[in-house]
Amino acid sequence: MPHDADTLHLLVDRIGVQDLVDRYLAGLDEAEFDDTWARSVFTEDGRFEFPMGGHDGVPGMAEFTAAMMGKWRRTHHVAAGHAVEIDGDRARVRGNLIATHLHRDETPEPFQVGDRFEGEAVRTDAGWRFERLAFEVVWSRGTPPGRASDSDSAVHDS
């Protein structure tokens, strides 16, 4: 059995990584994207991957995310089942997400998606940050928006 201090440290780390996931998703719903936001959840060379595209590195991340999320009037992301594995200053996280997206044109039926997410995070001086975060669509309902342009939807290399 681990020493009590070790157990407490592990629990604090797990909560820190869970909080990172929740802060990221809350940021999507709050739609206030800038470099401060990007650095609060990603490492400088962090990568995120969505079914409609992705981006590498903090430079341009806020703009890419704003363009992607700007297709919607409002969004509501709910995550559950965070499975966090801590290995020193590194962590792996997996979980499930249901996201509801309201169309800009006020189409009555929202677009909903059930995703699995997984990522790797590292401990930094500022706390846990994602090196990589990826989403996989499991199911969807409703009409999605048009895809981002080819230049926006491609996974950008840093």
- The reported pTM is 0.85
- 91, β-bridge pairs: 86, 121
Q: Encode 70-92: b = buried (16+ Cβ within 10 Å), e = exposed.
A: ebbeebebebeebebebeeeebe
For residues 114 and 98, the answer to whether their CB atoms sit within 8 Å is yes
Task: List the domain boundaries for the chain.
Answer: 4-143
Q: What is the CATH number of domain 4-143?
A: 3.10.450.50
At 45-68, the pLDDT tens digits run: 999 998 878 999 999 999 999 999
For 61-110, what is the HEC assignment? HHHHHHHHHCCEEEEEEEEEEEEEEEECCEEEEEEEEEEEEEECCCCCCC
Going by their DSSP bridges, the two strands 53-56 and 42-50 should be labelled as antiparallel
Tokens of 107: 């189409």
Going by their DSSP bridges, the two strands 111-124 and 42-50 should be labelled as unpaired
How far, in Å, CA of 101 to CA of 68, rounded? 12
If 0-12 CB within 10 Å is exposed, 13-18 middle and 19+ buried, where does residue 128 land?
buried
At 104-127, the pLDDT tens digits run: 987 789 999 999 999 999 999 999
Please give the radius of gyration of the chain, using alpha carbons only, rounded to the nearest integer: 16
Mean pLDDT over 143-152 rounds to: 54
The SS3 of residue 116 is strand
Residue 32 DSSP label: -
At 10-43, the pLDDT tens digits run: 999 999 999 999 999 999 999 989 999 999 999 9
Our CA angle for 126, 132, 137, nearest 5°, is 130
